[in-house]
């Protein structure tokens, strides 16, 4: 029996964990209460992480598709065959015919992220699609335009804040972090509130967070941008700007004019709130001693998401909330990732082949993957590596994407399990679980709300036939003679290290990602590598500091914040010209929510994660339910222009009238690749309702939180009650049985 102190790598809270291991099996996971920074958010997802680690369907060797079943293969067979097929495709159709989709778990595995890029650079393809285009692209786009870097993080300074304006987020369920880490953030907000801080929560639902708010504003979905512009307008009209902060803003007069031209009553109708409410919130926010505003997926997952995010940044900027106590702070970290990005990112803007959509932070939008696979022409995607992703369920247009994936010449899935998006894979490549590998998140040290570092330790040894994804990407690059990172010499170093390690019988001399982690730590010149390793519970290596935003964060050539990018201004004016409300009574706006025990599509397929309710349902307001003749438990059909699903209704006054709330991430199947058992699935994939063509024109984010749908009753509760955990294979017309 041994105890390993490490951290959970399922979400950005990165809780410190104490893992008990017996005979290389994890038997218990609990919070590491000696962790210097993060453990208080510890939740059931982290507690049951060994369910996926020890899942009976775990991929334990490479598997090759043979007709309608999979057969085990050696690594050499896998790499040789995949390399050969990719080289043939590249020779025939060019490098862009090979693509990768990067799912969320890959971003929580540093070595994976590094070497996926190394392989793609070596192949020479631009076709990289990422899950960030489903939730945070708007944030990257705003950062790029305003501050000159898509990855600049401005972190909430929670403990000093006297007025929180939190929009489209439910921190009681999902924590206060988004791309960043704010451990125990929600409880810290509540502690500040208990000490007199104002807590304003904007959300169409009365969430668990909203129930604690001083004021809850049930905004109209897609209307957040109008609320935020209204707040700016009131701030300008009353002269509540911070003049010193405004001196840093280029083209502020353009923003003033935009706000002046907007009519507050129109904005109030757009966002579904009274104009007096907007005035009151503006006053409370602008006049508070300290304050910050933050927007998450409730704002981002709309076609108006970038404009909403932009106005949020402007509100913080003009009221002087950046780089100040209680506002938004730039953490310099121990590796300057913002500077590294500036040095290493491609100078040229790249766009998708079919619709000319730009890449954001290096990745094309997931919603565009279908077109890039099915539309013929030069650069059409013919081979795809699905890197820890499940876009058939997490992205819009799942049915069309499923069919597109089936048409590929080569689909390689790299994951710990065979999920919904992998069912047409020609090769299944087994990756390690995070408890089977070590890690150091060097590139996100600027996203910790305090200077903190922890070397994440490996808890158990993986099956000898399972390899880390970085190793697969490296071996594939070597087999293809593709220069890693697109640079000559790297392949030689890797190969030479392997020869030396073998000759001397010292496996640790073989190249591994630690070399890279260490080099990055040394390059940061702030902390020592050995000191990191010596703190098994993590290490607070400094104090919270202010004043680094301009000197270290801001990357615009003139050193100013570019407050009014012309494309943003034009899009805002287009929104202002739209009729304020679509009052069609026969349609609803589909929005989402998250519970503390779910995380995108990762975990809803694990039996232990949610003991009582293993399915999602459609939550509607009592007045809407009465109009539709629907009761709780009735089977309803929810339909959009692109798809329909059937699921149970749940009538609750927590939901705003005219909206329907259905949680995302359900309805994904996990297959038994050996074909001896049935696929496992819970709930329904509601993203088949979302139109992949309805994108935010600035960030290419789909309307995952604002799709128009209709609802009708199919069966009453007495008829429809049954086993809702049964997979609805009718959603997947090309479905094949797993066995």
Q: Which is nearer to ligand SF4, 16 or 397 (CB)?
A: 16
Parallel, antiparallel, or unpaired: how do β-strands 539-540 and 2-7 relate? Answer: unpaired
Piece of 3-11, 19-27, 342-350, 374-382 that binds ligand SF4 (CB under 6 A): 3-11
**Nearest 5°: phi and psi at 708?**
-75, 135
Contacts (Cβ under 8 Å, ≥6 apart) of 315: 165, 228, 231, 232, 235, 285, 293, 321
Contacts (Cβ under 8 Å, ≥6 apart) of 308: 138, 167, 168, 224, 225, 228, 295, 299, 300, 302
Q: What is the SS3 assignment for 236?
A: helix
Q: Taking the complex as a whole, how short is the minimal distance between the CB of residue 41 and ligand SF4, in angstroms?
A: 4
Distance between first and last Cα of the chain: 37
Are the C-beta atoms of 678 and 601 separated by less than 8 Å? no
Contacts (Cβ under 8 Å, ≥6 apart) of 569: 254, 258
Q: Which is nearer to ligand SF4, 29 or 660 (CB)?
A: 29
What gap in Å lies between CA 467 and CA 698, rounded to an integer? 38
Piece of 5-13, 485-493, 670-678, 723-731 that binds ligand SF4 (CB under 6 A): 5-13
User: How many C-alpha atoms does 520 have within 13 Å on its Cβ side?
Assistant: 24
Q: CB neighbours (10 Å) of residue 62?
A: 26
Binding mask 44-63 for ligand SF4 (x = CB under 6 A): -xx-----------------
Piece of 9-17, 121-129, 314-322, 327-335 that binds ligand SF4 (CB under 6 A): 9-17
Please list the alpha-helical segments (H only) found in 560-672.
566-577, 622-628
Query: 219-230 burial string, b = 16+ CB within 10 Å, else e?
Result: bbbbbbbbbbbb
Return the bridge partners of 715, or none: 635
Piece of 42-50, 104-112, 290-298, 404-412 that binds ligand SF4 (CB under 6 A): 42-50
Q: Which is nearer to ligand SF4, 8 or 98 (CB)?
A: 8
From the list 166, 247, 255, 301, the residue with the least C-alpha distance to 600 is: 301
Q: Taking the complex as a whole, how short is the minimal distance between the CB of residue 131 and ligand SF4, in angstroms?
A: 17
Q: Which is nearer to ligand SF4, 609 or 630 (CB)?
A: 609
| Helix/strand/coil (H/E/C) assignment for every residue in 371-411 | HHHHCCCCCCCCEEEEECCCHHHHCCCHHHHHHHHHCCCEE
Q: Which of residues 96-115 bind ligand SF4 (CB under 6 A)?
A: none
What gap in Å lies between CA 378 and CA 693, rounded to an integer? 22
Contacts (Cβ under 8 Å, ≥6 apart) of 634: 648, 649, 713, 714, 715, 716, 717, 720
Q: Please select the residue that binds ligand SF4; options are 4, 21, 43, 116, rule is CB under 6 A.
A: 43
Q: Which is nearer to ligand SF4, 46 or 204 (CB)?
A: 46
Q: Which is nearer to ligand SF4, 186 or 588 (CB)?
A: 186
Q: Which is nearer to ligand SF4, 14 or 117 (CB)?
A: 14
What gap in Å lies between CA 699 and CA 101, rounded to an integer? 17
Q: Taking the complex as a whole, how short is the minimal distance between the CB of residue 289 and ligand SF4, in angstroms?
A: 31
From the list 141, 124, 127, 134, the residue with the least C-alpha distance to 353 is: 127
Q: Which is nearer to ligand SF4, 227 or 440 (CB)?
A: 440
Q: What is the SS3 assignment for 309?
A: helix
Q: Taking the complex as a whole, how short is the minimal distance between the CB of residue 38 and ligand SF4, in angstroms?
A: 7
What gap in Å lies between CA 168 and CA 205, rounded to an integer? 9
From the list 535, 412, 526, 420, the residue with the least C-alpha distance to 475 is: 412
Q: Which is nearer to ligand SF4, 98 or 456 (CB)?
A: 456
Q: Taking the complex as a whole, how short is the minimal distance between the CB of residue 171 and ligand SF4, in angstroms?
A: 11
Helix 275-287 × helix 264-271 angle, to 10°: 100
Q: Which is nearer to ligand SF4, 15 or 521 (CB)?
A: 15
Q: Which is nearer to ligand SF4, 14 or 61 (CB)?
A: 14
Q: CB neighbours (10 Å) of residue 611?
A: 10
Q: Which of residues 22-41 bind ligand SF4 (CB under 6 A)?
A: 41
Q: Please select the residue that binds ligand SF4; options are 11, 86, 252, 651, rule is CB under 6 A.
A: 11
With residues binned 3-state (H G I as helix, E B as strand, rest as coil), the percentages for the chain, rounded to 5, are 40, 20, 45
| Residues, the chain | 739
Q: Which residue is nearest to ligand SF4 (CB)?
A: 46
Burial of 297 (0-12, 13-18, 19+ CB in 10 A): buried
Q: Please select the residue that binds ligand SF4; options are 4, 5, 6, 8, rule is CB under 6 A.
A: 8
Q: Which of residues 204-223 bind ligand SF4 (CB under 6 A)?
A: none
Q: CB neighbours (10 Å) of residue 390?
A: 27
Binding mask 63-82 for ligand SF4 (x = CB under 6 A): --------------------
Piece of 11-19, 367-375, 470-478, 666-674 that binds ligand SF4 (CB under 6 A): 11-19
10 belongs to the binding site for ligand SF4 (CB under 6 A) = yes
What gap in Å lies between CA 150 and CA 144, rounded to an integer? 4
Binding mask 171-190 for ligand SF4 (x = CB under 6 A): ----x---------------
Piece of 7-15, 269-277, 315-323, 696-704 that binds ligand SF4 (CB under 6 A): 7-15
Q: Which is nearer to ligand SF4, 39 or 511 (CB)?
A: 39
Q: Taking the complex as a whole, how short is the minimal distance between the CB of residue 45 and ligand SF4, in angstroms?
A: 4
Piece of 6-14, 264-272, 324-332, 542-550 that binds ligand SF4 (CB under 6 A): 6-14
| Helix/strand/coil (H/E/C) assignment for every residue in 651-686 | ECCCECCCEEECCCCCCCCEECCCCCCCCECCCCCH
Q: Which is nearer to ligand SF4, 45 or 141 (CB)?
A: 45
Piece of 8-16, 229-237, 425-433, 699-707 that binds ligand SF4 (CB under 6 A): 8-16
Q: Taking the complex as a whole, how short is the minimal distance between the CB of residue 110 and ligand SF4, in angstroms?
A: 16
Q: Please select the residue that binds ligand SF4; options are 4, 5, 6, 15, rule is CB under 6 A.
A: 15
Q: Which is nearer to ligand SF4, 360 or 394 (CB)?
A: 394
Return the bridge partners of 6, or none: 17
Binding mask 647-676 for ligand SF4 (x = CB under 6 A): ------------------------------
Q: Taking the complex as a whole, how short is the minimal distance between the CB of residue 43 and ligand SF4, in angstroms?
A: 4
Q: Taking the complex as a whole, how short is the minimal distance between the CB of residue 10 and ligand SF4, in angstroms?
A: 4
Residues in contact with ligand SF4, counted by CB under 6 A, come to a total of 12
Q: Taking the complex as a whole, how short is the minimal distance between the CB of residue 605 and ligand SF4, in angstroms?
A: 16
Interface residues with ligand SF4 (CB under 6 A)?
8, 10-11, 13-15, 41-43, 45-46, 175
């Amino acid at each position: 029996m041994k105890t390993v102190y490490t951290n959970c790598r399922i979400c950005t809270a990165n809780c410190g964990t104490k893992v008990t291991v017996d005979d290389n099996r994890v038997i218990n996971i609990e919070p590491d209460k000696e962790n210097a920074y993060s453990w208080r958010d510890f939740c059931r997802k982290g507690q049951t992480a060994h369910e996926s680690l020890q899942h009976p369907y775990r991929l334990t060797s490479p598997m090759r598709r043979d007709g309608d079943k999979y057969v085990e293969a050696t690594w050499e067979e896998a790499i040789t065959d995949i390399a050969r097929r990719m080289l043939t495709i590249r020779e025939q159709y060019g490098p862009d015919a090979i693509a990768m989709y990067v799912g969320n778990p890959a971003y929580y595995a540093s070595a994976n992220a590094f070497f996926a890029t190394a392989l793609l650079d070596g192949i020479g393809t631009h076709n990289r699609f990422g899950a960030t285009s489903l939730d945070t692209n708007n944030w990257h786009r705003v950062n790029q335009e305003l501050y000159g870097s898509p990855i600049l993080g401005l972190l909430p300074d929670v403990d000093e804040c006297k007025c929180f304006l939190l929009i489209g987020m439910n921190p009681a369920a999902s924590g206060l972090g988004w791309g960043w880490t704010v451990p125990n953030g929600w409880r810290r907000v509540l502690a500040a509130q208990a000490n007199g801080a104002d807590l304003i929560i904007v959300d169409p639902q009365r969430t668990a967070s909203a129930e604690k708010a001083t004021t809850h504003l049930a905004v109209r979905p897609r209307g957040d941008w109008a609320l935020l512009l209204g707040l700016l307008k009131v701030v300008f009209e009353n002269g509540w700007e911070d003049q010193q902060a405004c001196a840093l803003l280029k083209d502020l007069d353009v923003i003033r004019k935009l706000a002046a031209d907007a009519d507050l009553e129109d904005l109030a109708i757009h966002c579904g709130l009274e104009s007096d409410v907007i005035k009151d919130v503006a006053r409370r926010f602008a006049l508070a001693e300290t304050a910050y505003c933050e927007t998450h997926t409730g704002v981002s997952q709309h076609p108006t998401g970038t404009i909403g995010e932009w106005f949020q940044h402007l509100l913080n900027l003009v009221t002087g909330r950046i780089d100040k106590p209680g506002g938004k702070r730039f953490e310099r970290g121990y590796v300057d990732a913002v500077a590294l990005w500036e040095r290493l990112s491609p100078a040229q803007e790249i766009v998708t082949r079919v619709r000319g959509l730009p890449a954001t932070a290096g990745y094309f939008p997931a919603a565009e993957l279908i077109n890039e696979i099915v539309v013929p022409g030069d650069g059409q995607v013919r081979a795809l590596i699905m890197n820890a992703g499940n876009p058939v369920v997490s992205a819009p247009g799942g049915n069309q994407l499923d069919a597109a994936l089936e048409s590929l010449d080569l689909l390689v899935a790299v994951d710990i399990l065979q999920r919904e998006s992998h069912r047409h894979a020609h090769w299944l490549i087994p990756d390690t679980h995070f408890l089977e590998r070590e890690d150091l998140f060097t590139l996100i040290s600027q996203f910790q709300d305090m200077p903190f570092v922890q070397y994440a330790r490996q808890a158990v040894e993986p099956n000898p036939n399972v390899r880390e994804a970085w190793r697969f990407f490296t071996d594939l690059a070597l087999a293809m003679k593709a220069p890693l990172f697109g640079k000559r010499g790297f392949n030689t170093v890797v190969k030479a290290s392997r020869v030396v390690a073998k000759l001397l019988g010292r496996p640790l001399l073989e190249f591994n990602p630690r070399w890279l982690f260490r080099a990055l730590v040394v390059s940061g010149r702030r902390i020592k590598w050995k000191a990191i390793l010596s703190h098994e519970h993590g290490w607070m290596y400094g104090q919270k500091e202010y004043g680094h935003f301009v000197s270290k964060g801001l990357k615009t050539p003139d050193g100013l914040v570019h407050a009014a990018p012309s494309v943003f201004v034009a899009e805002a004016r287009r929104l202002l010209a739209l009729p304020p409300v679509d009052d069609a009574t026969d349609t609803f706006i589909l929005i989402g929510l998250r519970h503390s025990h779910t995380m995108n599509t990762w975990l809803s397929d694990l039996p232990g994660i949610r003991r009582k309710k293993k399915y999602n349902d459609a939550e509607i307001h009592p007045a809407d339910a009465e109009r539709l003749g629907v009761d709780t438990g009735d089977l309803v059909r929810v339909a959009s222009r692109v798809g329909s699903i059937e699921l149970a209704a749940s009538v609750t006054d927590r939901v705003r009238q005219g909206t329907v709330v259905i949680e995302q991430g359900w309805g994904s199947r996990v297959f038994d690749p050996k074909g001896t058992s049935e696929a496992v699935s819970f709930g329904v994939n509601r993203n088949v309702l979302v139109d992949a063509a309805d994108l935010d024109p600035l960030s290419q984010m789909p309307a995952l939180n604002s799709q128009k749908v209709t609802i009708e009753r199919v069966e009453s509760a007495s008829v429809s009650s049954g086993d809702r955990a049964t997979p609805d294979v009718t959603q997947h017309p090309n479905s094949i049985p797993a066995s």
